[in-house]
Amino acid sequence: MERQVNRRDFIKTAAGATAALVLTSGPNLFAEKPKADAQSEFKKITMVDLPYGMGALAPSISERTVNLHYNKHHKGYFTYLTGWINAHPEYQGHTLEELILKNEGGIQFDEAVFQYAVMLYNHNWYWPSLRPAGGGLPKGKIEKMINASYGSFNAFRKAVLENAMEFGVGWVWIVQDGEAVKAYRSEYIDTPLLKGFKPLLAIDVWEHAYYLDYENDRQKYVETVMANLINWNFAEANLAKK
Ligand code: FE2
C-alpha cells in the first residue's frame, strides 16, 4: 500500500515519538550533534558531508539557508535516527537503504523512525545534487536520455517545474527508469527508492529549503536551482552506477 503521510502527520507523529522516547529515558534526541562515536558506531547510517562551503551556493541559496538546512534539519534527522538505532540493536548493521526497504517488507519499524530514515536518505541526495556554478545544459549520456524521453531539454525542464508546483509535493527528483530519464515528484515523506526508480538528482522543495531566500516563490527557487546549481556531473556519475 502506498504511503500517504503528509507533513502535518509527520510532525505530529515525530513529536509524539520524541516525547515518548524522552519520557522513557531514551537517547537524547535534542542533542545538537551526534555523539562523537555515532559515525563509527553506526557507520552504515551516514549523513553526507556538505561537498562545498556553507556560502558556496550564494546568492542562489544563501549561507543562512544552507547552514540551517544542513546543520539543523538534516543533522536533526541523522541524530534522531542514530539515537533510535542505539536503543534498538536489532537494527544495527544495516544501511539506510536497507532499513527503508526492510520497513516496506513488513518489519515493525516505528513509523516516525521510518519517516526520519526517509528524510535522512533524501537529504543525502540533495546536497551533492547541487554545486556552485552548476546548472545549464546536461552533457553526455544524461543529455541523450533526456532528449530521448522528452524530445528536448526545455520540455524536460518544464516537466521538472510542473512537478515542483504540484500541491503537496516535498521533493522533485530526476530518476532513471530503465532507459528513460524522468522528472518525478514525491510527497513530503516519500522517496523514489520505494518505487523502484534509481535516483539521479534530488531537489528539496520543503519550505525550509527556500523560504528565507524566496519566501513563497517556490517556482523561482526551482528555476534558479535548475539554471545555476543543478549538478549534471553527479547525475552522469549516478547513471554509470549499477
Ligand atoms: Fe530539507
| C-alpha 207 – ligand 1 centre gap (Å) | 8
Of 74-83, 94-103, 137-146, 171-180, give the lowest mean pLDDT range. Answer: 94-103
| C-alpha 67 – ligand 1 centre gap (Å) | 11
| C-alpha 81 – ligand 1 centre gap (Å) | 16
CA–CA separation, 99 and 93 (whole Å): 10
Task: Return the number of other C-beta atoms located less than 10 Å from residue 16's C-beta.
Answer: 12
**115-151 pLDDT, tens digit each:** 899 999 999 999 999 999 999 999 999 999 999 999 9
| C-alpha 116 – ligand 1 centre gap (Å) | 11
C-alpha cell belonging to residue 95:
544501511
| C-alpha 132 – ligand 1 centre gap (Å) | 18
Whether residue 154 is contained in a domain is answered as: yes
Whether residue 34 is contained in a domain is answered as: no
Whether residue 229 is contained in a domain is answered as: yes
Whether residue 37 is contained in a domain is answered as: no
Whether residue 206 is contained in a domain is answered as: yes
pLDDT for 2 beyond 60: no
Q: What share of the chain is helix, strand, coil (3-state, %, to 5)?
A: 55, 10, 35
| Structural domain range at position 219 | 141-240
| C-alpha 72 – ligand 1 centre gap (Å) | 10
| C-alpha 155 – ligand 1 centre gap (Å) | 26
| C-alpha 186 – ligand 1 centre gap (Å) | 13
C-alpha cell belonging to residue 36:
562523537
The CATH code of the domain that includes 176 is 3.55.40.20
Residue in 226, 202, 228 with CA at minimum distance from that of residue 133? 228
Whether residue 77 is contained in a domain is answered as: no
Please list all protein residues whose beta carbon sits less than 5 angstroms from ligand 1, which is an ion: 73, 204, 206
What percent of the chain is modeled with pLDDT above 90?
60
Whether residue 223 is contained in a domain is answered as: yes
Cα–Cα distance list, 103 to 17, 52, 53, 191, 231 (Å):
17, 33, 35, 13, 31
CA–CA separation, 33 and 17 (whole Å): 19
Cα–Cα distance list, 23 to 19, 20, 29 (Å):
6, 5, 11
Whether residue 188 is contained in a domain is answered as: yes
Number of domains, the chain: 1
